[in-house]
A and B are shown apart, each in its own frame.
Chain A
């Protein structure tokens, strides 16, 4: 079965712009979580969605937002981009919010110039 699909794979934006990243979970998975990974840093949790509702949120400014659609696909939006937002953004999906593990996508590499 298809894995977690993230689009686009690469993105270049300028400071001040906004960006929307997309994540399609594994078929049947209803929970989607987002992470930011900067060079040399560990994964930082952004937020988690289940059944179109945000269940958990990490310590990121309000410029970072997300949503989940009825088909479980999720989008993440970053407004007023800053140079420090350059990172690999990863999405992971699971059947339900669970501590039993989830499957990650390949990520979207965002570069802010």
Chain B
């Protein structure tokens, strides 16, 4: 069964600190992996998208890594800001078009 597991479930950090969120998947065959940021009560917004051949992608203070051999991805947030408080969702797409598996997300809280 295709699965996407995210850890930790929730995380609290102080403003200015760095953090790393994890995503492990069993989806196969694999097409791409995306990280989304979802503010409370809003729709998810795409942060990064990586294909099988890419192992790192940055978007400002967000850097995603991908190890397709171990089927693991991480999202690293540098110098966190209060506005980074949100849910971060990992989505892995199958090679079969239109099929994606969503992780349950990691809820990040950044405190002053």
Contacts and interface: CB of A to CB of B under 8 A. Distances in A.
Interface string B2-16: 000000000000000
Given A99-B32, A100-B49, A107 B104 contact: no
Contacts, number: 55
A42 B98 contact: no
B104 A41 contact: yes
Given A45-B102, A99-B31, A107 B93 contact: no
Given A42-B89, A100-B32, A48 B43 contact: no
Contact of A98 (B46, B89, B98, B102): B98
| Contact count band on A | 20 to 34
B97 A99 contact: yes
Interface of B: 31-32, 34, 36, 41-46, 49, 89, 93-95, 97-100, 102-105
25 contacts: A6-B43, A41-B104, A42-B89, A42-B102, A42-B104, A43-B102, A45-B100, A48-B98, A55-B98, A56-B99, A90-B43, A90-B44, A92-B43, A99-B32, A99-B95, A99-B98, A100-B32, A100-B49, A100-B93, A101-B32, A101-B46, A101-B49, A104-B36, A104-B43, A107-B41
Given A43-B89, A100-B32, A104-B43, 20 more contacts: A4-B43, A42-B102, A42-B104, A48-B98, A50-B98, A88-B41, A97-B98, A98-B97, A98-B98, A99-B94, A99-B97, A99-B98, A99-B99, A100-B93, A103-B46, A104-B44, A104-B45, A107-B41, A107-B42, A109-B41
